[in-house]
Structure 1
Amino acid sequence: MSILLMIGLLFALMIIGVPVAAALALASLAFVATNGMPPMIVLANMVNGINSFPLIAVPFFILAGNLMNTAGITTRIFNFARATVGWMHGGLGHVNVGASVIFAGMSGAAVADAGGLGNIEIKAMRDAGYDTDFAVGITAASSTIGPIIPPSLPLVIYGVLADTSIGQLFTAGLLPGLMMALSLMIMVAWYSRRRNYPRDIGFRFGRFARSFVDAFLPLMTPAIIIGGIMGGLFTPTEAAIAAVAYSMFLGVAVYRTLDWRKILRVSMDTVQTTAAIMLIVAASTIFAWILTANQVALHFSQGLLAVTENKVALLLLITLIILIIGCFMETIAAITILTPVLLPVAVSLGIDPVHFGIIMILNLMIGLLTPPVGMVLYVLSKVAAVPFERCVTATAPFLVPLVIVLLLLTFIPSISMWLPTMLYR
C-alpha cells in the first residue's frame, strides 16, 4: 500500500465522519498490514509518541484554564478590559480583544477562550446593540490569540515533536500575539466608524482602579507563568503545575467560588479533553513515523525545490499548504503530521525552528476559523445560538488582519525571534 493511498484513506475516513484519532490509527494500521510489518510496531510508536515529560504540561494547562472559567475569573478579566479600553469607539469590540489577550496568558487554547469568554462577550455586545455577526466575528478572531501568546498547548506539542525549546517558543509568540491584537483592534475601529458603534463607558480612573484591584490576582497568572519561565525559575511543565496551584488557591481560598464538587467536575472535563488530545498525538505519531521512514520529507523537499528555488515563493507555498491542511484537520493532528514533513524543508531554507513553529501555529489558528473543521466556529455557533454558516460569513472579514500579520511574521523573522535571541541566545 503506497503512502498516497494511506493519505487518501485518512481523508476518506475523515470525510465520512470517523474521529481524527481513529482515522489516523486505521490508515496507519492499513499501511502496516499491507506492507508486512508487525502490528505491534503501531502500539510501540503510539506509546513512545506520548511518553514525553514536556507533554505533562498539556493536562495541567487545560486544568488551569478550566479552573479559571469555573471560578468566575473570566468575568473579572472582562470587567478590567472594559474599564481599560471600553471608552473607545466600538468599545466592547476592543474589550473583546483585550480580554482575549489577558486570558491567553492563562489558558493557551482558542476553544477555551471562545467557550469561556465568548458567552460573556457576545451577550454584552448584543445587549449594547452591536450586530450579532460583528460580535461573533470578533470573538472568533480574538480567540486565536490564545495559542500564540504563552502559555500555548499547540506550541508545547510542536516543541516536543521538533525537539525545540518550549521556553523559546513561548517567548517567540509574545510579540506576534500582541500584533494580532493590534490588527484586530484596528479592524474594530474601522467597523465602528462605518457603523457608528458607541463607546461603551467613559474612562474613569476610579472605575479602572477598582477593576484592576478586583482582577489583580488573576492578572498575576500570566506574570507567574511567563515570568517564571523567562526567569529560569521553572520549566514550562512546572509552570503548568504552578498555574493549576495558583488557580486552585484563587478559586478555593480567595474568591471561594470553587467547591469540591466543581473541582471534581472540572477535573473530569480535563481528563476527557486530555484523553482526546493524547489519542490524537499517539495516533499521529505512528502516521508521522511512517511518513518519515519512507522519506516523505525528503521527497517533498525535492518536489518543492523542483517547482522553484526562490525562498519567498517556497515560504508562500508552505504557508498555503498549512492553511489548506488547517481547514480540514484538527490542530494537534496537523502539527503532529506536518512537523516532520515541513520542518526539514524550512530548516533547509534557513528558517529557525522556533520561527517556523510560530508560523505553523498561526496558520493553524486561522484554520480554526474556516470550514469544514473550524472548531471555534462550532463552539460559537452554540454559544451565540446562530447557524454555523452564519458564523463562517461573520468571521470571514476578520481573517484579513490575521493573514496580514501572518505574512509579516513569515517574512520578518525578527518579529518572533527578537525576544528569544535576547533572552536565550
Structure 2
Amino acid sequence: MTLLAVTFFVLMILGLPIAFAIGIAGFTFFATGPMPPSIGVQQVASASQSFPLLAVPFFVLAGHMMNRTGITSRLIACSSVLVSWMAGGLAQVCIVLSTLMGGVSGSAVADAAMEARILGPGLIARGYSRGFTAAVIAVSSLITATIPPSLGLILYGFVGNVSIGRLFLAGIVPGLLMMAFLMVTAWLIARRRGYGAEAKAPPSLADVRRAVADAKWALLFPLALLFAIRGGLFTPSEVGAFAVVYAAVVGFLLHRELTWKRLTEALTEAVVDTGMIMLIILFSGMVGYAIIFEQAPQSVAAALTALTEEPVLVVALILVFLFVAGLFVESTVLVLLLTPIFLPIVQPLGVDGVHFGILMMTVVTLGSMTPPVGVAMYTVCSLLDCPVEEYVVESLPFVGAVVALIVVLTLWPGLVLFIPNALM
C-alpha cells in the first residue's frame, strides 16, 4: 500500500497526467503484490461495466450543448436584473450566475472559465481589483459542486452506492445557502471598498417577470431533471440522455442558436472531457480494489475511533483531512479513491451517506479554488492576468464563508436531508 501511495504522489509531482499517475501506481501494486496483474486488469474492465456511469458522458455533452444555445447570455441578463442593484452589483451577478449555471454545466472549472472570459473584464474595467474579481468568480463556481446535476455527486453515488436522485435533491439547499453566504461576503467587502451597484434601484416585478421568462428554459432544466427522477420517469443515467435531448430541443427549436457547427464543437469537447474523466474512473477502480484488499478502511476507522467515537467529531476529522488532501489532489480523484474508505466509517456511526456526500463534495471541490494545485484558481488567474498571491489574499473571506457553511451543514444535517426525505 505504501508503494502505491508513494508511486502515485511521485508521478503527480513529476507532472504526469492524473489518470496515468493513478494507473501506473495501481499496476505497480499488482505487479509487486500478492495478486497477479491480471486481477488489476479485470478491475479496470469491471469498473467500466456500470449503468450509472452513463450519466457522466450524457451530462458532459448536455452541458457543452447548453453553452451553445444562448442560455448563458440569457442567464447573465436574468442575474443582472435580479441582483445588480446591490452593492458590488457585478460581483453579485457572478455569484447568482454560478448558481444558475450549476444547473446547466455541472462543472465548476467550466463555470469559472466562462465567467472569467465574459464577466471578468467588465468587473476590472469598473474598478474591481483583479484579485477580488478572480476570487469571486473562482470561489462562487464551488456552488456547482452541489447544485444538480453535479458530476461529482454522480461519481460519489456510483462509488458509494448512494442514491444519485437523493443526492441531487439534497444539493439544492446547500447550493442556495452557499450563494447566500457568498453574496453577503461580497456585499460586506463591496460596501467597505465602495464598489457600487450597477442599477440605481431594485427591479420592478415586471422587470423580474420578463427576465425570468427570457431565461425560462435554462431555469426549468434542473427542475425538469429533479421532477423526472422523483417521478420515476427516468433513472439518473436515463435522465442524462433526457438532458441531451432537452438541450437539443432548446438549441435547435426554441432558441434556434445551436447550429450544426456548434453541435460538432460540443461533441468534440464532450468526447475529450469524457475520455479524461473515464480514464480516471477506470484506473481508480483498480486502486480502489487495492485499497479494500489492504483493509485501509478498517485501519483508518480504527485510528479515528481511537480518538473519538462521537459522529460529529469523526466527520469533522475526515473533512479536515479531505480539505488538506484537496489542496494537492483533484476533486474527482479524491471522490473515487476516498469514498470507499470513509463512507464505511461514517455510516455505522449513524451518519447518512447523502449528508456525508454533500459535505465531502463541497470540501474536496474547494481545493480547486485554493493553492497549490487549484485548477479553477489557475484558470481564472491566467484568464484575468491576476497574480496568484493577490488572489489568495482576496479569496480568504470567501473561503471563510464556505467553511462557515460547511460547519453549519455538519451540525444541522436536516438542512441537507429535509428535501430528499420529504420527496423520496
1:31 corresponds in structure 2 to 29
1:386 corresponds in structure 2 to 386
1:209 corresponds in structure 2 to 209
Q: 1:49 aligns with which of 44, 47, 50?
A: 47
For these two proteins, the number of residue pairs brought into alignment is: 422
Q: Mean Cα displacement is larger for which, 182-191 or 62-71?
A: 62-71
Report if aligned partners of 1:29, 1:42 keep a CA contact under 8 Å in 2: yes
Q: Give the partner amino acid of 1:322.
A: L
Q: How does 1:5-404 map to 2 (within 5 A)?
A: 5-201=3-199, 202-205=201-204, 206-404=206-404
Q: Helix, strand or coil: the match of 2:327?
A: helix
| TM-score where L is the length of structure 1 | 0.95
| TM-score where L is the length of structure 2 | 0.96
Q: Give the partner amino acid of 2:242.
A: A
Provide the C-alpha distance between the structure 1 equivalents of 2:66 and 2:223, rounded to a whole number of angstroms: 15
Aligned-residue sequence identity (percent) comes to 36
Deviation by residue 1:44-82 (Cα, 9 ceiling, x = unmatched)? 101211221111111111111111222332111011010
Provide the C-alpha distance between the structure 1 equivalents of 2:247 and 2:116, rounded to a whole number of angstroms: 20
Provide the C-alpha distance between the structure 1 equivalents of 2:161 and 2:53, rounded to a whole number of angstroms: 12
Q: Mean Cα displacement is larger for which, 296-305 or 108-117?
A: 108-117
How far is 1:395 from its partner?
Answer: 2.2
Provide the C-alpha distance between the structure 2 equivalents of 1:117 and 1:244, rounded to a whole number of angstroms: 23
Report if aligned partners of 1:57, 1:241 keep a CA contact under 8 Å in 2: yes
Report if aligned partners of 2:311, 2:351 keep a CA contact under 8 Å in 1: no
Q: Give the partner amino acid of 1:50.
A: S
Q: Helix, strand or coil: the match of 2:215?
A: helix
How far is 1:270 from its partner?
Answer: 0.4
How far is 1:152 from its partner?
Answer: 0.9
How far is 1:36 from its partner?
Answer: 4.5
Report if aligned partners of 1:158, 1:335 keep a CA contact under 8 Å in 2: yes
Provide the C-alpha distance between the structure 1 equivalents of 2:54 and 2:177, rounded to a whole number of angstroms: 29
How far is 1:362 from its partner?
Answer: 0.7
Q: Mean Cα displacement is larger for which, 63-72 or 414-423?
A: 63-72
Q: Give the partner amino acid of 1:351.
A: V
Q: Mean Cα displacement is larger for which, 35-44 or 186-195?
A: 35-44
Report if aligned partners of 1:377, 1:392 keep a CA contact under 8 Å in 2: no
Report if aligned partners of 2:312, 2:410 keep a CA contact under 8 Å in 1: no
Q: Give the partner amino acid of 1:142.
A: S
Provide the C-alpha distance between the structure 2 equivalents of 1:125 and 1:226, rounded to a whole number of angstroms: 34
With over 3 angstroms needed to count, the CA separation of the structure-2 counterparts of 1:18 and 1:234, relative to structure 1, is same
Q: Give the partner amino acid of 2:219.
A: L
Q: Helix, strand or coil: the match of 1:146?
A: helix
2:407 counterpart of 1:422: no
Q: Helix, strand or coil: the match of 1:144?
A: helix
Q: Give the partner amino acid of 1:225.
A: L
Report if aligned partners of 1:369, 1:392 keep a CA contact under 8 Å in 2: no
With over 3 angstroms needed to count, the CA separation of the structure-2 counterparts of 1:127 and 1:208, relative to structure 1, is farther
Q: Give the partner amino acid of 1:171.
A: L
Provide the C-alpha distance between the structure 2 equivalents of 1:279 and 1:151, rounded to a whole number of angstroms: 21
